[in-house]
């Protein structure tokens, strides 16, 4: 199963935020949209960084409430691991395991075209396991 196929089912909408916006702006957007991370980008959709809820917790634990009014670029991860639509779900799962993060932006020709979260991976894997179990059951019944 490719990343492209996952995106065709879940859609390619990705919430982005500009790097000069504050940590509080990011926290509000994350809470309002019920997501775990924001891709940091300008309107051209070139990935500049990623800011997850963990980064916000780290910011507040380091600086207290003062962190909330700082530009989020202070706390985003700048070296972002990305994938392409042609990669497989297995590739992305191993990236997440190795890097210990739960979000991977999908980039094509230098531009953001989607995002894959660990929740998408779990959903995908469950569907595959159910399909395998059903195929085995059918085989046993008809054998």
Candidate list 38, 52, 107, 124; residue touching ligand AMP; CB under 6 A = 52
Nearer to ligand AMP, 77 or 88 (CB): 77
Minimum distance from residue 60 beta carbon to ligand AMP (Å): 14
Asked if 37 interacts with ligand AMP (CB under 6 A), we say yes
CB-count burial class (<10 Å; 0-12, 13-18, 19+) for 68: middle
CB-count burial class (<10 Å; 0-12, 13-18, 19+) for 110: exposed
The kind and range of the H/E element at 55 are helix 53-63
> Of 84-123, which residues contact ligand AMP (CB under 6 A)?
99, 101-104
Nearest CA to 115 out of 54, 41, 24, 22 is that of 41
Asked if 39 interacts with ligand AMP (CB under 6 A), we say no
Q: Give contact residues for ligand AMP (rule: CB under 6 A).
A: 36-37, 50, 52-55, 77, 80-81, 99, 101-104
């Amino acid at each position: 199963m490719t990343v492209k196929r996952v995106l065709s089912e879940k859609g390619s909408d990705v919430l982005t935020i500009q790097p000069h916006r504050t940590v509080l702006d990011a926290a509000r957007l994350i809470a309002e949209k019920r997501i775990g991370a924001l891709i940091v980008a300008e309107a051209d959709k070139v990935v500049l960084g990623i800011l997850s809820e963990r980064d916000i917790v780290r910011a507040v634990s380091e600086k207290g409430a003062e962190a909330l009014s700082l530009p989020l670029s202070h706390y985003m991860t700048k070296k972002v691991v990305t994938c392409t639509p042609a990669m497989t779900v297995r590739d992305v799962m191993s990236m997440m395991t190795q890097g210990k993060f739960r979000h991977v932006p999908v980039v094509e020709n230098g531009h953001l075209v989607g995002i894959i979260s660990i929740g998408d991976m779990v959903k995908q894997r469950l569907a595959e396991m159910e399909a395998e179990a059903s195929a085995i059951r059918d085989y046993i019944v008809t054998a």
